Amino acid sequence: MLLRRTDLPLDRDASGRFLPWLVAVMVYLAALALICAIGANKVVSRWDQGLAGRMTVQVPASETGDGDRAGEVLAALQAMPGVRSAEALGAEEIARLLEPWLGTGSAYQDLPMPTLIAVRIDRAAPPDMAQLRHQLTQIAPGTVLDDHQSWLGKLLDLARSVQLVAVLVVGLVGASAVTMVIFATRMGLSVHGRVIELLHLVGAQDSYVAAQFQAHALRLALRGGVLGLLLAILTVLLVANLLRQSDAVALPDLSLLPLEWSLLPLLPLVVALIAMVTARLTVLRTLGRMP
């Protein structure tokens, strides 16, 4: 009964109305940024793992018939140390690869098509790529070796950029939370100046007053943080569902692992703790300056 209300009527302050919503928006943005960073990381690692130890050799078609040249390249690859396997793709497989660009049908069968050879290399003892390239171009001029590193490197750069942006967003969210709580706390100190003075006159320490502000800030930030997180989760589930329905393999996979899901609630908790500590320090600092 006696502790049902706090000594300071902070719940009636304007901060009680705007702070949870602002925190909700910030946590929402931070959660989305983190999930995007996790998604980008997954794309890179999926492609990295999928393409690790693989390369593609493209033997251009020859007007005089490339069957022999492709066969020679294939034989050279199979004999090369460090090459675990080399296999020319069949017509059906090439047709499937070209389908997104040329569509179904047999129109492309009249075109001079290169021969594609899928090569798996020994990652422990890979072949000398420069030597391999030289050797294959000797056999079939214009042969292209693609070990996917250039493409993967760009993808990795993109993922790192996304992660950097996510870190910046989280940092900005933290800084904004601190600024907002400082503002709201100072406003509260000003509005409740007479009550605080009375508490002091009755024997309250600065820490007693600070405890009320920090509990208030914790409560508001937690309320807003949970709301923001729930909205972010809903958004992610919606977007993940849309991504699953599309066939775009290069898009990130936003489905999270249980461990990643379990980390997300830390976001509102951390923001709430930041708010609590900020409120406490603001009160102690402000009251400490008083005579």
Which residues would be at the binding site for other proteins (CB under 8 A)? Answer: 1-3, 5, 7, 9, 12, 194-195, 197-206, 208, 287-288, 290-291
Shortest Å distance, C-beta 190 to other proteins:
17
Q: Give the Cβ contact number of residue 225 at 10 Å.
A: 27
The C-alpha atoms of residue 206 and residue 289 are separated, in whole angstroms, by 11
The residue (of 2 and 111) whose beta carbon lies closer to other proteins is 2
Short-list 190, 194, 263, 187, CA closest to 220: 187
Here the tokens at position 83 are 């090459």
**Phi, psi (5° rounding) for residue 88?**
-75, 140
Shortest Å distance, C-beta 218 to other proteins:
20
Per the CB < 8 A criterion, the answer to whether 213 and 283 are in contact is yes
Per the CB < 8 A criterion, the answer to whether 6 and 215 are in contact is yes
The residue (of 1 and 79) whose beta carbon lies closer to other proteins is 1
The residue (of 8 and 155) whose beta carbon lies closer to other proteins is 8
Shortest Å distance, C-beta 188 to other proteins:
14
Shortest Å distance, C-beta 186 to other proteins:
19
The residue (of 17 and 134) whose beta carbon lies closer to other proteins is 17
- The total number of residues written for the chain in this structure: 291
Distances (CA, A) of 82 to 41, 72, 180: 29, 18, 60
The residue (of 42 and 216) whose beta carbon lies closer to other proteins is 216
Shortest Å distance, C-beta 276 to other proteins:
21
